[in-house]
Copies of this chain bind each other. A is one copy, B any other.
Amino acid sequence: MATDTAYSSAAGDLRGPITPEGHTMVDLLTGVLPQIRSEAGDNDREGAFPVEVFGQFAKLGLMGATVPAALGGLGVHRLYDVAVALRRLAEADASTALALHVQLSRGLTLTYEWLHGPPPVRALAERLLRAMATGEAAICGALKDPPGVVTELTADGSGGWLLNGRKTLVSMAPIGTHFFVHAQRRDAGGQVLLTVPVVRRDAPGLTVAEHWDGLGMRASGTLDVSFHNCPVATDRILERGPAGARRDAVLAGQTVSSITMLGIYAGIAQAARDLAVEVCARRWSEPPSAVRTRVAEIDARLYALHAVTGTALLNADLLAADLTGDLDERGRAMMTPFQYAKMTVNQLAPAVVDDCLSLVGGQAYAGRHPLARLYRDVRAGGFMQPYSYVDGVEYLSGQALGSDRDNDYMSVRALRA
C-alpha cells in the first residue's frame, strides 16, 4: 500500500490517488459508478440531471469530500486526488463529473478562505463547509454573464445590497442550494470592484432556468440563473478587490478551482479508448494496419495526456501548500503549468476520441452510441476558463516573451463589460 501510494505519487500518471483520503473518496465513488454508467445515455438524451445520484453522493459524504475532516468532511486536500476521482467518474459519465467538480473545487477554495480569509469570511466558509459535509449544501459558481448583461451589486440604501443580472452556464444548478455569484459593484469614485455575493437558492428574486440544451455535457445541470433585486447581506459577500489590479496572486485560486477538470477529459478519452480497443480486439484477430497504428498512437497520446495532467497537478498541489514566497509569482507558477497541460489536453483528448470513432466505424455515429456522447462531451474542454485557447495563447506567450497584460480573466471580463 505504501509502495502503491509512493509509486502512483511518483509516477504522476493519474492512475490512482496518493493520499488515504483520496483512496476513501475513490472507493466510495466506485460503488456508485455502475448506476451512473447505466443512466448516462438516457440523461444525455433528455438533458436530465442525475438528481438521485447526487443524493447518493450526499449520503456517502462525497459532497463534502474536500471539506476538512475537522469540519466533518472526508478531508481530501490534494488536487491530484480530486482529478483522479473525476477521471474515474468521467469514464462513467462526464456530465456527472463536471457537476461534482463544482462542489469539490468549492470545498478546496472554501477551505482556503476558512484558513486564510478575514474573520467574517472564515465564519461564512465554516458554515458552508459544514453544510457541504452533511450534504445539505450544494454550492454552484455563477461566473459568466451572457453577452450584454452585467451582473451588479448595488446598495439597497439600508446597509444591505441588491443583486441584479443573469449568469449563464452554471453547472449543478438543479440541486444548487447556494450560488457564488461573480458580480461587480462600483465604489464612490466609480471604480469597478469585483465581488462575490453568496446567494441562497430560496432568495427572493433568484430564478433558476428550467433547461439547457447543450451540444454535450447535457446531464451536467448547466443552467442560467437570474437575479432581480435579490437581497444580499454584507456578511455574505466575498470582496475580490478592484478590477484591473493585475494581481497575479489570484491565479492560484483560479488554478485550484479549475485544474482538476483536466481529469474529466482524461476520463472521457480513457472511456473512448477502452471501448474502441475492446471492439477492435473482438472484431479482428489480425487487426488491419491502420487499426494497429491508431491504437498505438491512441495509447501514447493517452499516456501523454495523463502524464502532463498529473505533473501539472502535482506542481499545483506543491505550490498550493506553500504561501511563503511572492504570491504573484506563486500564482503564475501554478497557472502556467496548468495552461501547458490544458492546451495539451484539449488537443489530445479530442484527438483520442476522434480516432476511437474511426476505429469503431459507422455504428459510433448513432446518436445513442457512447462514442457519440463522448465526441460531444469532450469538446467542452476547449471552452473552459481559464483559459480558452485564444486567451491561453495570450497568457503563455506573454509569460515567455513578456507582455503588459491583465492575466485575471474575471477582471478582464468585468472591465470589458
Binding site for B on A (CB under 8 A): 3, 6-7, 9-13, 144, 147, 169, 213-216, 218, 277, 280-281, 284, 287-297, 299-304, 306-308, 310-312, 314-315, 317-318, 322, 337, 339-341, 343-344, 350, 354, 357-359, 361-369, 372, 375-376, 379-380, 382-383, 388-397, 399-402
Q: Is the CB of B340 within 8 A of A300?
A: yes
* A397–B299 alpha-carbon span in the complex (Å): 8
If A292-B289, A344-B300, A394-B288 touch, does A318 touch B401 (CB 8 Å cutoff)?
no
Residue of B nearest to A147 (CB): B363
> Bound complex: CA of A108 vs CA of B358, how far in Å?
29
Cα distance A237–B414 in the bound complex, in angstroms: 59
CA distance A297 to B344 in the complex (A): 9
Question: Is the CB–CB distance between B337 and A13 below 8 Å?
Answer: yes
Q: Are the C-beta atoms of A214 and B365 separated by less than 8 Å?
A: yes
Contacts A213-B367, A215-B372 known; A317 to B401 CB distance under 8 Å?
A: no
Top-7 shortest CB links A-B: A303-B340, A289-B292, A307-B311, A290-B393, A296-B396, A292-B397, A289-B289
Q: What are 29 residue pairs bridging A and B, where the CB atoms are less than 8 Å apart in the complex?
A: A3-B322, A10-B12, A10-B318, A11-B12, A11-B315, A12-B310, A12-B311, A12-B314, A13-B315, A147-B363, A215-B375, A288-B391, A289-B290, A289-B292, A289-B293, A289-B397, A290-B389, A291-B390, A291-B397, A296-B393, A296-B395, A299-B340, A299-B396, A300-B343, A304-B341, A357-B382, A358-B390, A361-B388, A362-B383
Q: Contact: B299 with A389, CB < 8 Å?
A: no
A393 B288 Cβ-Cβ under 8 A:
yes
Partner of A12, one of B12, B280, B395: B12
With A289-B293, A311-B12, A311-B310 known to touch, is A300 a contact of B372 (CB < 8 Å)? no
Contact residues in B for A280 (Cβ distance below 8 Å): 401
B295 in contact with A401 (CB, 8 Å): yes
Chain B residues with CB below 8 A from A281, complex form:
400-402
Give Cα distance in the complex from A9 to B6, angstroms: 11
- Residues of B close to A402: CB separation below 8 A: 281
Give, as a whole number of angstroms, the nearest-CB distance from A366 to chain B. 6
Q: Which residues of B contact A215 (CB under 8 A)?
A: 364-367, 369, 372, 375-376
* Chain B hits for A365, CB < 8 A: 214-216, 379-380, 383
Is B299 in contact with A400, judged by CB distance below 8 angstroms? Answer: yes
- Chain B residues with CB under 8 Å of A7's CB are 315, 318
Shortest beta-carbon distance from A398 to chain B in Å? 8
User: Across the two chains, which residue of chain B brings its CB closest to A369?
Assistant: B215
Integer count of this chain's copies in the complex: 4
> Which has the most chain B C-beta neighbours within 10 Å: A218, A281, A317, A337?
A337
With A280-B401, A288-B394 given, is the CB distance from A304 to B344 under 8 Å? yes
Which one, B301, B307, B388, contacts A310 given CB within 8 A?
B307
Residues of B within 8 A of A354 (CB): 350, 379
Q: A12-B307, A215-B364, A288-B289 are in contact. List 8 more A-B contacts (CB 8 A).
A: A215-B365, A289-B394, A291-B390, A292-B397, A296-B392, A304-B341, A307-B341, A359-B390
* A277 to B218 Cα, complex, angstroms: 27
Using A307-B307, A366-B213 as known contacts, say yes or no to A390 and B277 having CB atoms under 8 A apart: no
Cα(A6)–Cα(B391), bound, Å: 32
In whole angstroms, how far apart are the Cα atoms of A399 and B287 in the complex? Answer: 13
Whether A366 lies near B214 (C-beta < 8 A) is: yes
B358–A388 CB distance below 8 A: yes
**Known contacts A289-B292, A361-B388, A388-B358: A301-B394 contact under CB 8 Å:** no
Complexed CA–CA distance, A397 and B315 (Å): 32
Taking the closest CB of chain B, its distance from the CB of A78, in whole angstroms, is 10
